Amino acid sequence: MSETEFFKALADPTRREVFERLADGEMNATELRQGFEMSQPAMSQHLAVLRSAGLIAEQKLGRNVIYRINPDGVAQIHQWLSRYHAFWPKRVDELKRLLKEMDQ
């Protein structure tokens, strides 16, 4: 759950893609492995890194394990980045749009 952990977790392209897939909806490990030319243990280890960093959460369901994004992890990155808001892009439009969406 440390900053080092979640930056390290996201520093790997495979793990970022896994994270991106989970953003579209929850999946189990076998589904997540589709399209990756990688052994099952390799994916399992990647998932362990993401989970240990607090970026994803797991839920055992029978013999399957369902993974989904952990909003707390995203919130932590958001909080880290907010420290540098002085350097954020000056275009405010997108931020305004987001705010509108979140208010609903």
Partner DNA sequence: GAATCACATAAGTGTATGCTTATGTATTGA
Partner DNA sequence: TCAATACATAAGCATACACTTATGTGATTC
| Cβ partners under 8 Å of residue 66, min gap 6 | 26, 27, 28, 58, 59, 60
Out of 60, 61, 62, 84, which residue is the one contacting its own copies (CB under 8 A)? 84
From the list DNA, its own copies, none, partner contacted by residue 44 (C-beta under 5 to 8 A by kind): DNA
Stretch that binds its own copies, among 32-40, 42-50, 58-66, 88-96 (CB under 8 A): 88-96
The Cα–Cα gap between 103 and 47 comes to 33
From the list its own copies, DNA, none, partner contacted by residue 57 (C-beta under 5 to 8 A by kind): none
From the list its own copies, DNA, none, partner contacted by residue 16 (C-beta under 5 to 8 A by kind): its own copies
The Cα–Cα gap between 18 and 9 comes to 11
CB of 34 or CB of 82, closer to its own copies? 82
* CA 102, chain centre distance (Å): 19
Query: Is residue 52 a contact partner of residue 87, using CB atoms and an 8 Å limit?
Result: no
**Interaction site with DNA (CB under 7 A):** 8, 11-12, 14, 28-31, 37-49, 58, 62-65
